[in-house]
Amino acid sequence: MNSPDAVESSTIAEMEEMIARISSHKGVEGVMIMDRRGAIIQSTLDEEQTSTHAKALSDLTAKASSIVGMLNQNDELTFLRIRSKQREIVISPDKDFLLVVLQNPKSVE
């Protein structure tokens, strides 16, 4: 299992590029990349916000993922969208990482 510091530099560069691209979209308030256990790899939020969000959202993703697998063993979580009155949190999991985008739904293009 890749621990965050063992993430290859080419992957880090790709992540930085992706974060810059997503962050440039109107309404995007923050972008985070973590491993599936919630260890931070990249984040545009401040340290406190990053750790609060990372713990909560990796737990939620793990729970959603286990529910999907429990309801159908051949199925797999591909996307989680949490819409609230003030914000939208979009989580895109892949095998090793979680991409989290925090956006203001009213001003998203």
Query: Which positions lie near a copy of itself, rule CB under 8 A?
Result: 52-53, 56-57, 59-60, 63-64, 67-68, 70-72, 74-87
- Provide the minimum distance between the beta carbon of 45 and a copy of itself in the complex, in angstroms, as a whole number: 11
Q: In the complex with a copy of itself, which residue's Cβ is closer, 7 or 30?
A: 30
Looking at the DSSP bridge assignments, the partners of residue 42 are 33
By beta-carbon proximity to a copy of itself, the closer residue of 7 and 91 is 91
Looking at the Cβ atoms of 7 and 50, the one nearer to a copy of itself is 50
- CA-to-CA separations, 16 to 1, 46, 65, 71, 81, in angstroms, rounded: 21, 16, 26, 35, 23
Using CB atoms within 10 Å of the CB of residue 31, give its burial: 0 to 12 exposed, 13 to 18 middle, 19+ buried: buried
